[in-house]
Amino acid sequence: MNKLFACLATIAGLFIVTPSLADGDAAAGEKVFAKCKACHAVGPDAKNKVGPLLNGIVGAPAGKVEGFKYSASLTELGEGGLVWDEETLGAFLRKPKDVVPKTKMSFAGIRKDDDVANVISYLKTFQ
């Protein structure tokens, strides 16, 4: 699939297919993740910081990292079944407050789709 956009004609009309989040580059994602390191950690010695550690985050239920105090809104969404699958995590990385209103996370978001896909690929190396 073309990394920019692929057009797919169907009977229902024309749909734009965005790059798959599974197509990210983990090495490039490590560089983008540098923006996240002030608040989050990954790896064997990772600990909660201002934000929770992110080992195993891809596919995990939201608000479940042991020892981290989440915002009430994230806790409620997690109890309601929110899971950090690639699609939801991608939306959160783009605009956190659109996915979790009143989140404690002050990060504005990652603008480029490729950067989002790369960060998710990087995070997947810590499953």
Residues 120/86, Cβ–Cβ less than 8 Å: yes
Reported confidence tier of residue 10, pLDDT bands at 50, 70, 90: very low
Per-residue model confidence as pLDDT tens digits over 28-47: 999 999 999 999 999 999 99
pTM: 0.81
Output the CA angle 36-104-64, nearest 5 degrees.
80
Rounded to the nearest integer, the mean pLDDT of the chain is 86
Per-residue model confidence as pLDDT tens digits over 54-94: 999 999 999 999 999 999 999 999 999 999 999 999 999 99
In the chain, the domains with their CATH numbers are 24-124 (1.10.760.10)
